Amino acid sequence: MNLVDKFPALKNLLNQFDQLSSRDQLALKGLGGFAVVLIIYFALVSPIFGAKSDAQTMLSNRIDLYSFLNDVGPRAKANARAAGSSSNRNSNVAISSTVTRTFSQNQITLQKFENDNNGGLRIWVENVPFDKFAQSLARLETSHGIVATQVTIESEGKSGVVSGRGVLAFK
């Protein structure tokens, strides 16, 4: 028993196809072939090119971030050394407001933050772009002398999106 015998609707369809003129049969075959090509294109080829474009954009953004961090790193160290010990370094209010303001400038909302017993600030962020998180940490170091003494970053399943927690403190 073959496939056509198992499905009567398919048998009826084939009978109707056989009753068409050869010109109509040729047109239906061409249309069917065209439909198969369209399905292959939209199901396979188009998503591949889209993914490639997304990956290129992400690579470009990460290269820009790397260049930024590479340029800012030496200046941050020099600024931190030049700043020495400032009067507001022991102020927990100053560190929490500075950290909150800096993260807000990068459209990142701190999920939670609390004072550390050692004069630092513990922070938690969820579902944020990695690039913006890293830029915020770099800006804190360069502009305010606040460094991450401990950071834990976890991927959230989507490319480039992370959750993290850490301890920030004045140098």
- Render pLDDT for 63-106 as a digit per residue (tens, 0 to 9): 988 888 888 878 777 776 665 544 444 456 678 889 999 999 98
The reported pLDDT for the residue numbered 90 is 46
The reported pLDDT for the residue numbered 59 is 93
Question: Which residues of the chain are under the pLDDT cut of 50?
Answer: 85-90
User: Average pLDDT of the chain?
Assistant: 86
The reported pLDDT for the residue numbered 84 is 52
Structure tokens at 97: 């407001």
Closest CA to 73 of 142, 147, 170, 145: 142
The reported pLDDT for the residue numbered 82 is 65
DSSP of the chain: --HHHH-HHHHHHHHHHHHS-HHHHHHHHHHHHHHHHHHHIIIIIHHHHHHHHHHHHHHHHHHHHHHHHHHHHHHHHHHHHHH-S-GGGG-HHHHHHHHHHHHHHTT---SEEEE-TTS-EEEEEEEEEHHHHHHHHHHIIIII-EEEEEEEEEE-SSTTEEEEEEEEEE-
The reported pLDDT for the residue numbered 89 is 45
The reported pLDDT for the residue numbered 40 is 93
- What is the rounded CA–CA span in Å between residue 148 and residue 169? 7
| Dihedral over Cα of 106, 60, 162, 115: its sign | negative
The reported pLDDT for the residue numbered 69 is 84
β partners of residue 122: 114, 167
Please report, rounded to a whole number, the percentage of residues in the chain having pLDDT higher than 90.
42
The reported pLDDT for the residue numbered 85 is 45
